[in-house]
Amino acid sequence: MTVTFLGTGTSQGIPIIGSDHPVCLSDDPRDKRLRVSILISWEDATYVIDCGPDFRQQMLRANCSHIDGILFTHEHADHTAGLDDIRPFYFRQGDIPMYAHKRVFGEFKRRFDYIFATENKYPGAPGVIQYEVKNNEAFELKGVQVTPINALHYTLQVFGYRFNDFAYLTDVKTIAKAEKEKLKGLKVLVINALRIQEHISHFSLDEALEFIAEIKPEKAYLTHISHLLGFHAEVSKDLPENVFLAHDTLTITI
């Protein structure tokens, strides 16, 4: 199984438009972060988690010309605003399978009504197949069992996803004990770490490290990173030896 980080930034991305913060001005390519997303593939399967405003650029950069579906963590714009750009995939492949909480599909029908229209649909609009993700109901994608992990982003429900020994969670602030049980025995955990200071709806760096210490994956990668976390090179130096800052284009094999 291979995972490529398509984006590792928080909602505004890094650099932030107009910012003169030193991290936004950094020349280190690892300090340039598109909105958070991964590409996960095994054998002939390729899936994307989330479809933010940088989706088009991410697909071009990853040289990705076929996807078997998109899994969504939640409906916030930094995870969903690129939905129109599934059009090239739709034109080649037909309706694109999407996996999400039913609340997220409800939001999509409002924001992307032309994609979800059932009557008088515009011919250039993409089509999707909706698969509802429910907590405590694992599902199978091309031979791999996927376990949804339920968490809270302040008060908003979000899903993380476990694929075999790999799990991806982002925009988590609180997570129940029963959900942590589903994360036992991981080889790789990806978890959000926004910044040093606490935040109402995201793990801070310390909270993410505490979570990793509790879950005990072999390795962990931090994502959904704000410029306020600091320079990639500096922050990386102080992390535990099995914890790494993810950066855009990083590919790992599990």
Q: Which residues bind Zn ion (CB under 5 A)?
A: 78, 171
Sheet hosting strand 139-141, strand order edge to edge: 139-141, 144-153, 156-163, 166-168, 188-192, 219-223, 243-245
Nearer to Zn ion, 15 or 52 (CB): 52
Tokens of 115: 């994609």
Closest approach of Zn ion to the CB of residue 72, in Å: 11
| 223, 190 contact by CB (below 8 A) | yes
| 247, 30 contact by CB (below 8 A) | yes
Closest approach of Zn ion to the CB of residue 135, in Å: 20
Phi, psi of 191 (to 5 degrees): -140, 150
Nearer to Zn ion, 114 or 154 (CB): 154
Phi, psi of 73 (to 5 degrees): -85, -45
Closest approach of Zn ion to the CB of residue 160, in Å: 13
Nearer to Zn ion, 42 or 221 (CB): 221
Nearer to Zn ion, 42 or 190 (CB): 190
Closest approach of Zn ion to the CB of residue 171, in Å: 5
Closest approach of Zn ion to the CB of residue 152, in Å: 13
Closest approach of Zn ion to the CB of residue 90, in Å: 25
| 160, 151 contact by CB (below 8 A) | yes
Nearer to Zn ion, 31 or 78 (CB): 78
Place of tokens 């589903």: 182
Nearer to Zn ion, 42 or 48 (CB): 48
Distance CA 88, CA 56 (A): 10
Alpha helices in 47-130 (DSSP H): 55-61, 77-80, 87-93, 102-111, 113-116
Distance CA 226, CA 5 (A): 16
